[in-house]
Amino acid sequence: MAIESFPESRLPDPVAAPRPTGPRLVPRPVEGAAFGSDWWQRGVIYQVYPRSFADSTGDGVGDLRGVIDRLDHLNDGTDRSLGVDAIWLSPIYPSPGLDVGYDVSDHATIDPLFGTLDDFDRLIDEAHRRGIRVVLDLVMNHTSSAHPWFLESRAARSGPKADWYIWRDPPRSWSRAQRRRRPNNWVSYFGGPAWTWDETRGQFYLHTFLPEQPDLNWRNPEVRAAMLTMVRGWLDRGVDGFRLDVFNAFFKHPELLSNPRRVIGGRRAYDRQRHHYDKDQPELHEFLAEFRALVDEREGRMTVGELFATEAHRAGEYSAPRHLVFDFHLISQPWRADAFARATAEREAIFGPAGWPTVVLSNHDQSRHASRLSARSRDDAVAKAAAVLLLTLRGTPFLYYGEEIGLRDVPIPRAEIVDPPARRGGPIARRLSPWWNRDQARAPMPWTDAPFGGFSEVRPWLRMAPDAATRNVARQAADPRSVLAAYRRLIWLRRCHPALQVGAWRRLSKASGDVLAYLRSTDDETVLVAVNFGRGPGWFRAEGDPASGGWEPLFGTHEALAPAPEGARVELRPLEAVVLAAGPSSRG
């Protein structure tokens, strides 16, 4: 499109606030846009993978003090930081580390690898002082097999914890020779059967994931009570919310019926079954009500559930005000306008105008989207255009650490793979399963061009990105064209524009095939977003607010934009994304 001025001038003046030193500083760019107890809806949440964020102790592994040291990057109260409203910490509990922390051996304290409870309290204080909420990952479907509860449970068939896990005898016709007959046909998400024989107890136990991650028996009221006590303890410590790991798998069918097979089987055993009886049981609703009531007793708390391997419509059924549910619609889309348009329309239908979705493009279980969506491209155009989608589609955006600098998957040689499900899987599983190398998306954060990216003074637990010397936070902070600059600006814009936070979503139909154009609107303002997914030119019709005096650019990935009259056809360059606001007369 015709180029005149960079949208810089359209933005509100940056807050000239000093860096926070004293009492906390609430970012307040425009009156009325400060986040209150509805931050879970208006805000932006950032996933910290603590092992890979920042190492303060020089052991090559990230830790809580490292996170504290880097909080100013996340939000220092000015637009010179990212400006996120909350962090979600992947598990920081004691763990043998067989599922890299998702195998918890004590839910009530901190793994010494990451620090102490005092460090945690300091993290909460320092985060809160900056207006950053802290969300903990709760892994409650299973524990580590090293958890004292499991050790006690496996010791004998009687005793207080005997029924805390899911133990079953083999079918009745069992004899020593038939030991391998399992209670049913359920399979583990990490490959192989979901049942492991335990010699001590002389029974099988259930594990949806690794054999070292036995599933808890959620039908036992004592298990539920113990979990709620633990949750209360963290709330008392000041945490602002929880991410619930695989929450829809907590309850299994009471009779543990075998799962039906799929008519058309998938490549992995897990995909060849219809997972009817090992998740999504009606009793989950009862527990969610109890758990959510506990969380809701405290002002301004929230939760987000990881919807695990199930139909997308359940995300709508399980979610409620303050209690979000990840649906992974967008994460599984190819980089095409029609795919994102369809997925967004489906999500809108699932949640309805009153429901509230999340927007997620990357996390610790998936290939990073800068790699996944742009295998062919070495530059950052796709990462920036994807940032526009992430931060302007309807729903609470969840960023995954490193995506704000366009971090890509880091190739890990087979001999260096850490992730146990990948190491165990063998070559066939590696070829067939997306879980084969989650390490690639968990690389240490490159902060500077120092050795080991300023992440640590020693060789980190996982390989650094090969381009860490050039792709790092310090370098991008100094470059107004960087991915980081785009994220900062877009998050700032969200803060300034209620339409981008809570506005209704409507697709604009007049656009070329590779362009997805949509409006976000409240009663008071309308914002238009257009993203060209194509590697050739595209266009859209800037319309949807006839009362407007035209469309004023707020942001563009390609720097130079001009205002457009209502109804104008606007040309976009390859992979260009723009955000425009309806001019003043529409607000009349």
Phi, psi of 388 (to 5 degrees): -60, -45
Comparison of 87 and 493: residue with beta carbon closer to ligand GLC: 87
- Min CB(360)–ligand GLC separation in Å: 12
Judged by beta carbon, residue 142 or residue 541, the one nearer ligand GLC is: 142
> Which amino acid is located at 247 in the chain?
F
* DSSP for 388-444, written as a single string: HHHHHSSSEEEEETTGGGT-------GGG---HHHHHHHHHHHHH-GGGGGGGG-PP
Residue with the two structure tokens 């994102």: 340
Comparing CB distances to ligand GLC, the nearer of 366 and 586 is: 366
Looking at residue 139, the DSSP 8-state letter turns out to be -
What is the edge-to-edge ordering of all strands in the sheet holding 504-508? 504-508, 515-521, 526-532, 577-582, 551-556
Q: What 3-state DSSP class applies to 66?
A: helix
Phi, psi of 429 (to 5 degrees): -60, -40
- SS3 for 203? strand
> Can you tell me the distance from the alpha carbon of 392 to that of 343, in angstroms, rounded to the nearest whole number?
15
For the bound state, the minimum distance from the C-beta of residue 192 to ligand GLC, rounded and expressed in Å, comes to 15
Nearer to ligand GLC by C-beta: 328 or 452? Answer: 328
Q: How far apart are CA 530 and CA 548, in angstroms?
A: 18
Q: Are 527 and 517 in contact (CB under 8 A)?
A: no
- The SS3 assignment for 369 reads helix
* Closest distance to ligand GLC from the beta carbon of 93 (Å): 12
From 63, 76, 79, 245, the catalytic residue = 245
Nearer to ligand GLC, 209 or 335 (CB): 209
Smallest distance, Å, CB 107 to ligand GLC? 13
Under DSSP, the state recorded for 571 is E
**Cα 433 to Cα 310: distance, rounded to the nearest angstrom:** 17
Q: What is the CA radius of gyration of the chain?
A: 24
Give the amino acid at 78: T
What are the residues facing 400 on neighbouring strands?
Answer: 47
Query: Closest approach of Cβ 419 to ligand GLC, in Å?
Result: 9
Least distance CB 306 / ligand GLC (angstroms):
6
One of 222, 297, 311, 338 is an active-site residue; which one? 297
3-class DSSP state for residue 42? helix
Residue whose beta carbon is closest to ligand GLC? 102
DSSP-assigned beta bridge partners for residue 579: 529, 555
- Is 106 marked active-site? no
> Least separation, in Å, of the C-beta of 363 and ligand GLC?
7
Q: Which two tokens stand for residue 455?
A: 């992440």
Residue type, 453: G
Closest to ligand GLC by CB, 38 vs 365, is 365
Residue with Cβ nearer ligand GLC (223 or 493): 223
Can 403 be counted among the known catalytic residues? no
- Enumerate binding residues for ligand GLC (CB under 6 A): 99, 102, 139, 209, 245-246, 306, 364-365
d(CA 358, CA 347): 10
Kindly tell me which of 444 and 553 has the beta carbon lying closer to ligand GLC.
Answer: 444
Closest CB to ligand GLC among residues 102, 270: 102
Minimum gap (Å) between residue 510 Cβ and ligand GLC: 40
Give the angle subtended at the CA of 38 by the CAs of 232 and 240, to the nearest 5°: 25
Q: Which residues contact 102 (CB under 8 A, 6 or more apart)?
A: 91, 95, 139, 209, 213, 245
CB of 44 to ligand GLC, least distance (A): 20
Residues 502-529 as b or e (16 or more Cβ within 10 Å = b): ebebeebeebbebbbbbbbbeeebbbbb
Active site residues: 245, 297
